């Protein structure tokens, strides 16, 4: 049992609290409980039965089930019913930090806590979300239902990759001492932009490798997440077009810095200057011209 947990008073008036409140009183109670439950941990990924939620919140089974489902629909958490494991998506970032330095001893503690977690479908998702920021090296994978099935492989290199994946499935704790930052960053972009069918081709490899000369993997992931937080880039524009490709995000230092600021919520438009949305629109017009049909998704293959 933890000695304490961080719960901000802004929870009740912030975006998260409002989203839960829209789902009903039960979801608000369950959301608060999940952040401070006696069995919770700093990762926000832990074993928790619905029976326990029902008893300790006083909601009863019907109220607890309704509240948990509402929290899931609000995007607050996910629940593996078979393993009885809950994952509060942003809890690790809030309870620990947005990012740690590689020599921070908490990185070892996070990895150890992750290694000790019970088997569940959320292990891969947690690793993919937080590994770049907490410098995790061991990924456990027990087959997430969202994982795409393997396609027939054609080359010797692809056959070797398939054999490695099969070996990893036999050994759930995968040692990745030589974690490839290019692949990790690309996987992060795929997940954030919901583009699992996109391929890591030579152009994208060069873009990421070039950015890594001046930015850490965590900063590049922040830039990707910052793009995802920018409505204009995610399709809320007069062309109904998504401008979220790596060729835009990593185009140069100005773009990377801008999206990092967007991720931190620090973007501001000074009087008389163009807004972030206007700047992105201008850059995209310069990059793509005016011939892109409305509704196209730039640098993404729809799932």
CB contact at 8 A, 260 and 217: no
For 30, phi and psi rounded to 5 degrees? Answer: -65, -40
Q: What is the pLDDT of residues 215-244, one digit of tens each?
A: 998 899 999 999 999 999 999 988 889 999
Give yes or no for a contact between 37 and 56, defined as CB atoms under 8 angstroms apart: yes
Task: Return the pLDDT at 212.
Answer: 92
Compute the average pLDDT of residues 118-124.
91
Tokens of 2: 């933890």
Q: In angstroms, what CA-CA distances link 178 with 72, 184, 200, 212, 222? A: 35, 11, 18, 16, 22
Helix axes 181-192, 123-134, angle to 10 degrees: 120
pLDDT at 277: 56
Q: The pTM is what? A: 0.48
Q: Can you tell me the distance from the alpha carbon of 36 to that of 7, in angstroms, rounded to the nearest whole number?
A: 8
**In this predicted structure, what is the pLDDT of residue 249?**
95
Which pair of tokens denotes residue 301?
A: 């293959």
Say if residue 5's pLDDT is above 90. Answer: no
Share of the chain above pLDDT 90, in %: 52
Q: Specify the pLDDT at position 264.
A: 84
DSSP conformational letter for 77: E
For 126-185, write each residue's pLDDT tens digit.
Answer: 999 999 999 999 898 765 443 333 333 334 445 555 555 555 444 444 334 345 888 889
Q: State the burial class of residue 89 (Cβ atoms within 10 Å of its Cβ: 0-12, 13-18, 19+).
A: middle
Q: Which residues 6+ apart lie within 8 Å of 234 measured at CB?
A: 227, 228, 242, 244
Tokens 């607050």 belong to 76
Q: Is 104 exposed, middle or buried (0-12, 13-18, 19+ CB in 10 A)?
A: middle
Q: Kindly report, residue by residue over 13-54, the tens digit of the pLDDT.
A: 888 889 999 999 999 999 999 999 998 999 999 999 999 999
pLDDT of res. 255: 94
d(CA 69, CA 30): 10
Mean pLDDT of 247-264: 92
pLDDT digits (tens, 9 = 90+) for 263-289: 887 544 433 445 555 655 555 555 454
Q: Which helix (H) or strand (E) holds 283?
A: helix 276-288
């Amino acid at each position: 049992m933890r000695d304490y947990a961080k719960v901000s008073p802004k929870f009740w008036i912030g975006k998260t609290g409002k989203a839960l409140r829209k789902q009903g009183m039960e979801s608000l109670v369950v959301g608060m409980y999940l952040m401070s439950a006696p069995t919770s941990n700093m990762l926000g990924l832990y074993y928790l039965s619905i029976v326990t939620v029902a008893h300790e919140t006083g909601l009863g089974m019907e109220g607890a089930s309704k509240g948990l489902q509402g929290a899931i629909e609000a995007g607050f958490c996910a629940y593996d019913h078979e393993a009885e494991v809950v994952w509060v998506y942003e809890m690790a970032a809030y309870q620990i930090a947005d990012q740690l330095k590689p020599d921070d001893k908490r990185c070892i503690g996070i990895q150890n806590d992750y290694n000790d977690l019970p088997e569940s479908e959320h292990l891969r998702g947690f690793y993919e979300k937080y590994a770049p920021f907490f410098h995790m090296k061991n990924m456990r994978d027990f087959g997430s239902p969202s994982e795409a099935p393997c396609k027939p492989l054609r080359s010797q290199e692809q056959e070797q990759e398939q054999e490695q994946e099969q070996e990893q499935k036999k050994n759930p704790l995968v040692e990745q001492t030589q974690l490839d930052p290019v692949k990790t960053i690309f996987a992060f972009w795929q997940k954030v932009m919901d583009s699992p069918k996109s391929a890591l081709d030579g152009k994208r490899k060069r873009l990421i490798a070039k950015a890594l000369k001046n930015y850490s993997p965590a900063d590049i992931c922040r830039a990707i997440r910052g793009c995802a937080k920018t409505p204009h880039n995610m399709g809320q524009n007069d062309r109904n077009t998504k401008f979220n490709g790596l060729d835009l995000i990593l185009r140069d230092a100005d773009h990377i810095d801008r999206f990092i600021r967007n991720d931190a919520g620090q973007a501001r438009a000074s009087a008389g200057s163009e807004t972030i949305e206007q700047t992105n629109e201008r850059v995209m017009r310069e990059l793509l011209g005016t011939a892109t049909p409305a509704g196209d998704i730039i640098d993404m293959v729809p799932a």
